Structures are given as structure tokens and as C-alpha cells.
Amino acid sequence: MSALPAPLPATTFFLDDPRTGRIACHHAGPDTSAHAPMVLVHSVNAAASAYEIRPLFEHYATSRPVFALDLPGFGLSERRDRAYTPRLMTDAVRVLVDEVRRRHGGAPVDALAVSLATEFLARAANEDAAAFRTVALVSPTGFDGKRREGPEGSTRAVPGMHAIVSFSLWDDFLFDNLTRPGVVRYFLEKTFGRKEIDEGMWAYAVRTAREPGAKHAPFHFLAAHMFSNDVTRLYDGLTMPVWMAHGVRGDFVDYRGAEAMKDRPNWRFRVFETGALPYFEMLEPFASAYDAFLAR
């Protein structure tokens, strides 16, 4: 049993599925509500966890049932050495969504994902559109203006890269240096686009990166195994209401590809004067804009 505390103030439960292994899920909020259940999915990086959506989780748990998961390889989920792919991550999203719907009479969910996880959410919503009332994409990947319409399920994996970074002579040394406290802070500053970051997220990221098996999923991320090469088709295929939000500071500000979606009646857009995690900096304006979208 891991000594790592839960990333969220919630009831944590585990789902075991042959597609995903053991994944940790977190739940808070009323069992019944006039609002649809909400599912939140964190981003992917060297020290990721559900802590990355904590402000939203806490905010919406006051009014509706809210669920989040630690994606496979992160947080309290299973971290064994295996292939970490879009298929695995999408299956994890679907396993949780299926469980949420089972608990709530089959109701479709409002789902929100951050950064690379938006690709997993979009794939899940393409595969089972009836399960999703709405989809929200926060600082999504795949909108840099390059259309990626490769074969279904293909990835942008760099040949040989995973073998290099995970080579046993230096893999521990490499990962330890990638996740040193100062390096974690450096990358969070690039995410926030400023020196001021969320200190709680930094502290949890440093700690979760020291858990056994923490290196396996990030090495697949570094080798681009989790980036979908058919992502343009995934976003094109979304038929339910879609909300896309992003900031204007830091390393994640190239959304030229979103212009292609501007005329679609089911898409809405919002830009915040923040870094890539607007809800950490402007929770109330972010939630107000998201609520307005959900109410439509």
C-alpha cells in the first residue's frame, strides 16, 4: 500500500479492469443533484496526478457529484512497467465514466480534461458519444495548426526514444534529475507562465515522483507514445457541446488550429489572461464561464 496521500479531499476508490489494471478514482459531492455528474481528468507530465484539477474538484463538489481519476502510471493508480498509450489512457477514462453512469442511473456526464488528456477524452467521446453530455478541453494539445489524420489509434512515438531514456544503466538517474524539486518548479513556472505557481501542486508533484514505478509512464510520455497521430479526426468527430478554454502565458499558447472549429455550432471558446491552468489563477471567472456553457 502506497504511503502517498490522496491528491484530493475525497473518497478514494479503486477500479480493476483487464484493460487498465488498477486505477484510483476520487469522489466527492452530493449523491443526488439537479446537475449532471462531472468527471475531471488531469494532464500528463513527469509528476502528474489528480492534484492538477484540485480547485475545480473542490469547487464543483459543493453542488454536484464530482469524480476524478489518477491516470494509469500516476498518483495512486497502478504504476507497473508496461506500454502507456492513448488506448490505455482512453480506456481508463471510459472505465471511470461507465462507473459514474452506473452510480447515477445511466446519466451522461459533463467531462473536462486538461492538456494531453484532452486527446484521451476526445477519443472516449468519439467511441461512446451517448455517455457525454458535454466535453470541456482546457489548454488542449493538437491545435498547433498541423492537421494530424494518421491511421486510427496511431501515435507520434519517436522511434527508439523510449529504449534510450529507459535504458537500465541510466534510467533511474535520468528520472531522478527530471523530477528534482528545482526542475519540477522550473516546468511548473513554464506551465503557469510566471514565477508564482501553486505551491501545493509543486509539493505533491515532488512527492508523487518518488513513488515506486513513477518513471514508467513519464518515459513513454517523453518518447511521445501518448500523443495521438489521429487527433484532428478526434476533435472533428465530437458531436456533443464542446467548450475549449486556454490561457495566454507560458509554453502552451499555440492554438492556431482552433480557427477551424470556430464556425461549428457545438463549439464554444474562452481565453483567460493566465497560464495553462486558468482555474488555479482565476477560479471564479473560470467556473462562471464554464457554468454559462453548461447551462446552455
pLDDT at 180: 97
In the chain, the number of structural domains is: 1
For residue 118, tell me if it sits in a domain.
Answer: yes
Q: Are 84 and 222 spatial neighbours (Cβ–Cβ below 8 Å)?
A: no
For residue 116, tell me if it sits in a domain.
Answer: yes
**High-pLDDT (> 70) share of the chain, %:** 99
Q: Are 99 and 68 spatial neighbours (Cβ–Cβ below 8 Å)?
A: no
Per residue in 136-150, pLDDT (tens digit) is 999 999 999 888 888
What is the DSSP-derived secondary structure letter of residue 155?
A: B
Q: What is the CATH number of the domain that holds 136?
A: 3.40.50.1820
pLDDT at 184: 98
Q: Is the pLDDT of residue 115 over 70?
A: yes
pLDDT at 145: 84
For residue 2, tell me if it sits in a domain.
Answer: no
What integer best gives the mean pLDDT of the chain?
96
pLDDT at 269: 97
Q: How many Cα atoms sit within 13 Å of 22 on the Cβ side?
A: 10
pLDDT at 156: 87
For 157, the domain range is 11-295
Per residue in 63-112, pLDDT (tens digit) is 999 999 999 999 999 999 999 999 999 999 999 999 999 999 999 999 99
- How far is 199 from 8, CA to CA, in rounded Å? 15
Per residue in 264-285, pLDDT (tens digit) is 999 999 999 999 999 999 999 9
For residue 3, tell me if it sits in a domain.
Answer: no
The burial of 58, by beta-carbon neighbours within 10 Å (0-12 exposed, 13-18 middle, 19 or more buried), is given as middle
Q: Is the pLDDT of residue 2 over 70?
A: no
For residue 246, tell me if it sits in a domain.
Answer: yes
What would the mean pLDDT of 166-195 be, rounded to a whole number?
A: 94
pLDDT at 73: 98
For residue 291, tell me if it sits in a domain.
Answer: yes
pLDDT at 54: 98
For residue 69, tell me if it sits in a domain.
Answer: yes
pLDDT at 166: 87
Band (pLDDT 50/70/90 cuts) for residue 122 is very high
For residue 254, tell me if it sits in a domain.
Answer: yes
